[in-house]
Structure 1
Amino acid sequence: MTRAWILPIVLLLCGAAATTGPALRGDTGPAVAYAVVFLVPAGVCSPLVFPRSIGAEEARRRSAADGRPVVYWRPGCTYCLRLRLRLGRRARRLHWVNIWRDPAGAAAVRAANAGNETVPTVVVTNRPHTNPDPRWVRELV
């Protein structure tokens, strides 16, 4: 199991534990409320919210060919989630690199951020932008 799935799985287990008591007593209202309270954050924190990630080398190659930005991200990052949600459908047009799955991507982020793995880092025409305004990224796409 990778680090990306730890938080969603913990949330699902906590939700199951919190839902079990009311469900066994027949209290469907609280059981449903607990399920929603834990399932929504689990879904939002999971890697499934983001477009399919590719490797850093492939992302650079594709970006050079089509001019689209490369977004370096990691699961569980609230700023990455904010960027992803504010981009909406346009997010699929970008090249996404999960730095927890791609060591070359993590190295690129560290090189752009003085040794820190600060995400999201958006690279446009070989120029990195750390945690840019989602409106600015939306204008690029």
Structure 2
Amino acid sequence: MGEIVLYGADWCGDCRRAKAWLREHEVPFTEVDVERDDVARDRAVELAGGRKNIPVIVLPDGAVLVEPTNVQLAEAVRV
């Protein structure tokens, strides 16, 4: 499986939960901080179809999850 990209922010509870879940299941991912990077923030909104919710998680196959639950994460990465 290729790399997962997570667009999020430190203050975001759902982002912290998703990152913790990915780490707990040893799923490699790259974190992009939308709070400090305007281009990344714009990209996350674009990927999320105009929604401003985070985290926005891009899977290796190009699929995008917006504010996924742990169950949705598990289904998406097949842990």
TM-score by length of 2: 0.73
The structure that is helix-richer by fraction is 1
- The correspondence of residues 6-45 of structure 1 with structure 2, limited to 5 A, is none
Over the matched positions of the two proteins, sequence identity in percent amounts to 21
Partner of 1:96: 31
Tell me the secondary structure at the aligned position of residue 80 of structure 1: helix
Answer with 1 or 2: which has the greater Rg.
1
Aligned AA (1:107): D
Partner of 2:68: 132
Q: Distance in 2 between matches of 1:74 and 1:127?
A: 20
Aligned AA (2:19): R
1:116/1:68 Cα in 2 relative to 1: closer, same or farther (>3 Å)? same
Partner of 1:69: 4
Q: Distance in 2 between matches of 1:80 and 1:97?
A: 11
Aligned AA (1:95): T
Higher relative contact order structure (alpha carbons within 8 Å, sequence separation ≥ 6): 2
Partner of 1:84: 19
Please give the root-mean-square deviation of Cα atoms over the aligned residues, in Å: 2.2
Tell me the secondary structure at the aligned position of residue 43 of structure 2: helix
May I ask how many residue pairs the two structures share in their alignment?
75
Q: Distance in 2 between matches of 1:134 and 1:105?
A: 24
What per-residue deviation string (whole Å, max 9, x for no partner) do you get for residues 27-80 of structure 1?
Answer: xxxxxxxxxxxxxxxxxxxxxxxxxxxxxxxxxxxxxxx712111111211111
Q: After the TM superposition, list the runs of 4 or more consecutive aligned residues in structure 1 that deviate by more than 6 angstroms.
A: none
Match of 2:45 among 67, 90, 110: 110
CA deviation after TM superposition for structure 1 residue 131, in Å? 1.2
CA deviation after TM superposition for structure 1 residue 136, in Å? 4.1
